[in-house]
Structure 1
Amino acid sequence: MAGLARPGGVRRRVQVIGAPARIRSLLRFRSFQSRLLVFFLGLFVLVQASVFLSVNAANVRNARQQIDEALDVTASVFERVFRERTHRLLGSARLLASDFAFKKAYATRDHGTILSALENFQGRIGADAVMLAALDRVLIADTQHPQRTGTSFPFPDLISAAEESERGEAEAVVFIESRAYQMVVVPLLAPMPEALLCVGFLIDDRLTAELQGVTSSHVSLLRKTGDGKWDLFASTLPGGPRQRLPSDIRGTGDGAVSVGGGEEYLSRVVVPPGGGRGAEVIAVLQRSLIEALRPHRRLQAALAVLFGVSAAVTLAGGIAIGRTVTRPVLALARRARKIEEGDYSEQESVERADEIGHLNKSFNHMVKGLAERDRVRDLLGKVVSAPIAEELLSKTIELGGEEREVTILFSDLRDFTALCEGRSPKDILSLLNTYLTRISAVIDGNGGIVDKFVGDAVMALYGAPLRHADDGERAVRTALGMMMALEGLNAEFLEQGLPRLGMGIGINTAVVVAGNMGSLTRMNYTVIGDGVNLASRLEGLCKKYGVSIVVSETTRALAPGFAYMELDRVRVKGKSEPVTIYEPLGEGNRVGPHVLGEIEAYGEALGLYRSMQWERAGARFAELKREFPERFLYHVYLDRAAEFVRNPPGGDWDGSYTFSEK
């Protein structure tokens, strides 16, 4: 679309304060004495903390090593106990399987006779469960359930393991009615296998307590349920940790398992013999790290007392040393606060020959220099803009300049002569100062610099001497703000019976020379260059197109956050190359759809005009003139189209218009 420049995104600067900046902020002390105290105490605390942490780390490391060694022993004892129980079960089961009397009882096939023999055997060896199963995995007799017979054997995996073994025997941890049993199975030979004899010992808190008594370690046994969770069925842990342990299991690898309550246990997870068959069973062997560290706490308490006493002594010494230094420094600080308020009158002498005395003398000389500089700054600030004054005062003043990209804004009042008619010079100056004060406030508010006032004209700079990343946007925003300020001023003039004022603003961005210009005795900070002249010419074109603001294509490219109407391609007086000029209509996100519709229609008409379709272009501009009679731009193009119908331009016409006057 020829007439519309799409608004771009507006970048916002976000200042992020990093960790180093926060640390520096915390280290800014309100007094020198505090700095000394913090230094001495900080150094002392650093040394003491290093010692304390080193001792504590050594204690923890030693305790962990001792616990690791104890858990290794506990794991060996645990496995040995389970192996011994397995050997007892296997020996007893083999004895019964080869007993002639039992084989005779089995040969009767009488359930009561077989059950009686199994119960008698169970009582002799102290077993907790005895079963007899047929080779087809049918239960023959069960001492825990005397009436049960002829049903499926409850542990088929155990029988499968026995069938796969060389001796026809197997072991496993099984569960009968939620109770764990260490179970073995052996064949009943007559002489070929006739049945399978199963014998088991109960696994409960009595076994884990026995293991704890031998190893002084906590022992917990858990099984994995069908939903993947762990169920605790035997443990020496107290109530709270016992309840929390199943949820703390994260696998079967070694590592620290926290059981809550602020107490950490170092743990070893092992699989008991037979725990991988049937039900998945693990044993968690644990020792409390806090219990292991208890003997070292007395040493830590003694170190803490020594640390506190030493800190108090260091603090007292730091305060005594700090006062001898801070008293004269505080006196200088009080004088500095008065100087900050603009009071340079107080003079104070410190009768000391050391560094503090030299500091006081240097301070007095500095105060004299500051007083003189403030007088110069106040005077200079009334003549030029404050940033320019800072630029002049911050470096050696000399003639010359530097090339830099600057956005230049020119503004000029319209109809000011009519306002001056019949009024005294004093009244005119008062009105002009009121206008310039309002306009300067807008320029300052957007970070611009007032370069000079020439009657009712204003020249402002963006990018010199101070540079911002968004100088182009600042200049366009200033122009729109100046028009709003003028509307407010016209409202006040209307109440006073004064005529309305108009204003033209031209903005251009270019590489110019910025610096001090003039003579060795009288100089001025300003900018010069072809780009400055173009900005002045653009301000003059406002009257030609009936608009208040004209910006160049270079400025528009630097300020994409606004909606623009392309006015024309022109050659201003003194330039051979054409320049595309635009009128900013406002912030891109604040322009209404009716304005966007007008821009679109205007863009179509401008496209016809540049493609040399004069009659069609004239018709479109005539329609726009009827719809928007207040916009003078359409009158301009309607007249041009009519003229080109009568006198067409040459074949080398590039769509631009040449102005021969300023």
Structure 2
Amino acid sequence: MTENLAFMTDFTRWLVDAAMVTRNQRAGELHRLLCEKLVDLGIPLWRSSLGIELLNPEFEGVQVRWIAHEAHIETLPRGSDGSDYEGSPAQIVDTTRKPFRRKLDGAASNMALLGDLHRDGATDYYIVPLPFLDQERTAHLSFASRKQGGFSEAEVTALGDAAMLFSPYAERFMLRRSADTLLTTYVGRRSAAKVLEGALDRGKAEMITASILIADMRGFTQYSDTRPIANVLSTLNDFFDALVAAIEAQGGEVLKFIGDALLAIFPASDGQPVPTQPAITAALDIRQRVTALNAERAKAARTQIRFGLVLDAGEIAYGNIGSRTRLDFTAIGPAINHASRLLELAKRLDRDIVVSESFAAAAEGFDFQNIGHHRLRDIAEMQPVFAIAQEA
């Protein structure tokens, strides 16, 4: 009893310090330090695996493995068949919420993982569920040994205690990662960072200079009225995949989706000119991606996608707007309004990429096509408008 209490006290103090050292890193680094610490304490650990179910639009979960002092990380994409998970020790502990142990003494096992571990020289396997407060997410921590005879009973007890102490720190890392992932997914990376830094006051906005990109899908209303909803959602997702990939590749940030439309910005760094080249590159990439997408859709006899896109530049207010209980971290300003009016004009002129006068003036050296002066809704004076030719 006294010996176990001493272990728990020393280990707890070490874990607090280790968690502080790794607080700005992923949970995998704390797991690596945990495994190294257990080895230092004399536990014959050869392999350990930390599995955590994620709240992530791309990945079901993450598996962090430590094998003979080497760390490996594997993510499980959403939509995977889960064949490795069915009937596995991980599924058993996730379902029963109880530890599972199996001596790997050569007896046949119907679990593929245990068979693989035995062939690699493992003699004992122990896995425990981590008691996260968030019961919607499952997590487990497993240990394997190559020592003859496997873990002793005292070592199994120590591993179980270590896992319980490790659990709240693992959940803390997971919750932080989930918050960062979800905010980035729904409001964009730059906006997510601002919110996590504490930019929560309603009505407070930062004045920034940026290139603005607004785009939408042509004929979407008619398309959505005449197609099954599954087709509409699939087409929208394909369209936005093409746009977002091109924008983010150039450092742009998508602020919002509105129906079939998208608003993105390319903020200027402090004291630097408005970044027009990344926005131009993104626009041209979008044109190419939609062309490639349409080629694939033609093979499947699906409707071709047509789009309109506007590039503008100017000063915008970037911050929190909304009610006391529901905020939107977004951008507003005359330049945004101007860009939306240009998008209407692009449709009337049947142009895919239209550029404002302010953007064209800022983008020195690029050969835009002058398409004349045009009247924009709610703007008194005729506006010079430019385009990027199809051959650009």
Map 1:36-47 to 2 at 5 A. Answer: none
Is 1:379 the counterpart of 2:65? The answer is no
Alignment partner of 1:561 out of 365, 377, 382: 365
Structure 2 unaligned spans of 5+ = 1-13, 42-165
Alignment partner of 1:536 out of 340, 343, 346: 340
Q: Deviations over 1:110-131 (max 9, x none)?
A: xxxxxxxxxxxxxxxxxxxxxx
SS in structure 1 of the partner of residue 364 of structure 2: coil
- AA paired with 1:340? R
The residue number in structure 2 matching 1:430 is 234
- AA paired with 2:26? E
8 Å Cα contact 1:473/1:558 also seen in 2 = no
Q: Deviations over 1:303-327 (max 9, x none)?
A: xxxxxxxxxxxxxxxxxxxxxxxxx
The residue number in structure 2 matching 1:439 is 243
Distance 1:370 1:508, change over 3 A: same
8 Å Cα contact 1:387/1:466 also seen in 2 = no
Q: Distance in 2 between matches of 1:505 and 1:418?
A: 19
Map 1:488-567 to 2 at 5 A. Answer: 488-567=292-371
Q: Distance in 1 between matches of 2:364 and 2:388?
A: 10
- AA paired with 1:433? N
Map 1:204-353 to 2 at 5 A. Answer: 332=18, 336=22, 340-342=26-28
Map 1:472-487 to 2 at 5 A. Answer: 472-487=276-291
- AA paired with 1:510? G
The residue number in structure 1 matching 2:252 is 448
Alignment partner of 1:463 out of 259, 267, 276: 267
Alignment partner of 2:201 out of 394, 398, 405: 398
Structure 1 unaligned spans of 5+ = 1-327, 352-362, 592-662
8 Å Cα contact 1:562/1:584 also seen in 2 = no
8 Å Cα contact 1:479/1:505 also seen in 2 = yes
Query: 1:577 Cα shift?
Result: 3.2
Q: Deviations over 1:488-511 (max 9, x none)?
A: 111111111112221111221122
8 Å Cα contact 1:493/1:499 also seen in 2 = yes
Q: Distance in 1 between matches of 2:318 and 2:367?
A: 30
- AA paired with 2:251? G
- AA paired with 1:379? L
- AA paired with 1:536? S
Q: Distance in 2 between matches of 1:338 and 1:402?
A: 26
Q: Distance in 1 between matches of 2:260 and 2:194?
A: 26
Query: 1:406 Cα shift?
Result: 2.1
- AA paired with 2:198? K
- AA paired with 1:442? A
8 Å Cα contact 1:408/1:509 also seen in 2 = yes
Query: 1:468 Cα shift?
Result: 6.4
Query: 1:385 Cα shift?
Result: 1.3
Query: 1:392 Cα shift?
Result: 1.5
Higher helix share: 1
SS in structure 1 of the partner of residue 298 of structure 2: helix
Q: Deviations over 1:207-251 (max 9, x none)?
A: xxxxxxxxxxxxxxxxxxxxxxxxxxxxxxxxxxxxxxxxxxxxx
Query: 1:341 Cα shift?
Result: 4.8
Q: Deviations over 1:171-215 (max 9, x none)?
A: xxxxxxxxxxxxxxxxxxxxxxxxxxxxxxxxxxxxxxxxxxxxx
Map 1:146-185 to 2 at 5 A. Answer: none
Is 1:411 the counterpart of 2:206? The answer is no
Distance 1:536 1:477, change over 3 A: same
Q: What is the TM-score of this pair, normalised by structure 2? A: 0.55
Map 1:4-153 to 2 at 5 A. Answer: none
SS in structure 1 of the partner of residue 378 of structure 2: coil
- AA paired with 1:424? P
Distance 1:489 1:368, change over 3 A: closer
Distance 1:573 1:421, change over 3 A: closer
8 Å Cα contact 2:215/2:309 also seen in 1 = yes
Distance 1:469 1:367, change over 3 A: farther
Alignment partner of 2:378 out of 574, 581, 586: 574
Q: Distance in 2 between matches of 1:522 and 1:470?
A: 31
Identity of aligned residues (%): 28
8 Å Cα contact 2:341/2:376 also seen in 1 = yes
- AA paired with 1:548? D
The residue number in structure 2 matching 1:389 is 192
Distance 1:341 1:364, change over 3 A: closer
Query: 1:422 Cα shift?
Result: 4.8
Q: Distance in 2 between matches of 1:563 and 1:365?
A: 58
Q: Deviations over 1:433-484 (max 9, x none)?
A: 1211111100101111111111111111111799964522222222221111
The residue number in structure 2 matching 1:18 is none
Query: 1:334 Cα shift?
Result: 12
Q: Distance in 2 between matches of 1:451 and 1:468?
A: 21
Distance 1:452 1:564, change over 3 A: same
The residue number in structure 1 matching 2:3 is none
Q: Distance in 2 between matches of 1:578 and 1:338?
A: 53
Q: Deviations over 1:351-397 (max 9, x none)?
A: 9xxxxxxxxxxx99987754432232122222221222112112342
Query: 1:401 Cα shift?
Result: 0.3
For the pair shown, the structure with the greater C-alpha radius of gyration is: 1
8 Å Cα contact 2:246/2:285 also seen in 1 = yes
The residue number in structure 2 matching 1:639 is none
Query: 1:580 Cα shift?
Result: 1.4
Q: Distance in 2 between matches of 1:585 and 1:528?
A: 29
Distance 1:542 1:386, change over 3 A: same
8 Å Cα contact 1:562/1:585 also seen in 2 = no
Distance 1:443 1:513, change over 3 A: same
